[in-house]
Amino acid sequence: MRPTTATVRLDAIVSNYQLASRMAPGSKNIAVIKANAYGHGLVQVARALQGHAPALAVAFIDEAIQLREAGIDTPILVLQGIHHQDEIAEAEAADIWLMLHHKRQLEWVLSLNTPGPVTVWLKLDTGMHRLGLAPAELDGVCADLIASEKVHRDLVLCTHLASADDMDDPLTAQQISLVRSCAARHGLATSIANSAAILGWPESHADWNRPGYMLYGNSPGSSLDTGSFGLSPAMTLKSVIVATRCIAVGEGVGYNSRWVAQRPSKIGTIAIGYGDGYPRHAPNGTPVLVNGERVPLVGRVSMDALSVDLTDLEKAEAGDPVELWGQQLSVNEVASAAGTIGYQLLAGLTGRVPLDFIQD
């Protein structure tokens, strides 16, 4: 087996969850584990959070069913609700909570044949303009929902913040105030904060918060520093050097010789590539750790391999350990070099990389 794995420290996820709870002492925190728990293993992360998180959230109903089939009995909220009327019966049978964002979904629930009640969270569009009822629509549907015996009485009004990672954007305060006034008008519980808002916007903390990315130990925004909060990265993506070679000035590395040696150079090749989820668009110079030391990526990332410049690491040789991101090299830094965000790198890890779970 090739020595490329992602180790996942489940205890770090639990302690990051506890940190989210301490930062918002008046809120319940629903742990967001969509997209295979941001690449960390859906079922294993759900199990690790049992007894800590009062509820879990995923994006789609299939993810929730997968958790139920694995024996997870924690309440599960499906953030995009249902895509077809038939899914309501499935949700009800598996005791799954539904976040509903569209009138069509509400009509499906109100015309339910089964007795119910279904637990519903209502999504309000307060400025992100992606999903959610408009505030004016809410007035029309709220009374019907509250009156219906198909729907559980404890409705939660929810909104998603568009720019909580930008401490200077005035939109966040407007969104918070709009959802709070709508919730007050209808006497509803509220849920607003994602990770960035838990860390940066205490005024967004409400009955329920929805931390996702921070649970995996990285800061959700460039203006919010991980270290200062005490988050601990749960995943370390590891491999080893599988070959080294020396090349002369003027010789290139990789497809289309995107990098050309300016000095006699020692090149190391690592058995990981974009087929594993390492970003293909990572430029020359993207940091990689070899024996704990930073070296620059050189040449194009290929499907199964990438190369680094080992010229300054005299002793480096085949078999030496490599960290692509993790505890010593922030996934956010690698992402930023590659023009993306850590969320995409973690969620984009492919099934070819085995996850190695470490309990403590």
Ligand X SMILES: *Cc1c(COP(=O)(O)O)cnc(C)c1O
Cβ proximity to ligand X: between 212 and 254 the closer is: 212
Nearest to 115 by CA among 149, 87, 144, 141: 149
Neighbours of 360 (CB within 10 A): 7
User: Is residue 268 a contact residue for ligand X (CB under 6 A)?
Assistant: no
Which residue among 9, 40, 150, 160 contacts ligand X (CB under 6 A)?
160
The residue (of 206 and 288) whose beta carbon lies closer to ligand X is 206
CA–CA dist 45, 33 (Å, integer)? 8
What sign has the CA pseudo-torsion 283, 351, 41, 324?
A: negative
Cβ–Cβ < 8 Å for 234, 40 = yes
179 lies in the binding site for ligand X (CB under 6 A): no
Residue with tokens 């006034």: 181
Beta bridge partners of 269: 243, 307
State in angstroms the smallest separation of the CB of 306 from ligand X. Answer: 27
Q: Which is nearer to ligand X, 224 or 334 (CB)?
A: 224
Among 121, 208, 213, 325, binds ligand X (CB under 6 A): 213
Q: Is 79 in the site for ligand X (CB under 6 A)?
A: yes
- According to CB under 6 A, which residues from 215 to 254 bind ligand X? 220
Which of 81, 127, 211, 342 is the binder for ligand X (CB under 6 A)?
A: 211
Q: Is the peptide bond before 296 cis (omega within 30 degrees of 0)?
A: no
**Any contact of residue 212 with ligand X (CB under 6 A)?**
yes
Helix (H, G, I), strand (E, B) or coil at 16: helix
Q: Does 326 bind ligand X (CB under 6 A)?
A: no
Catalytic residue among 17, 34, 216, 343: 34
Task: Quote the least distance from Cβ 120 to ligand X, whole Å.
Answer: 15
- Own/partner contacts of 332-337, CB < 8 Å, gap of 24 or more, are 332/218, 332/219, 332/222, 332/226, 333/287, 334/279, 334/282, 334/286, 334/287, 335/279, 336/222, 337/282, 337/283, 337/285, 337/286, 337/287
Q: Which x/- pattern over 128-157 shows residues binding ligand X (rule: CB under 6 A)?
A: ------------------------------
Site string for ligand X, 84-103 (x = CB under 6 A): --------------------
Provide the annotated active-site residues. Answer: 34, 255
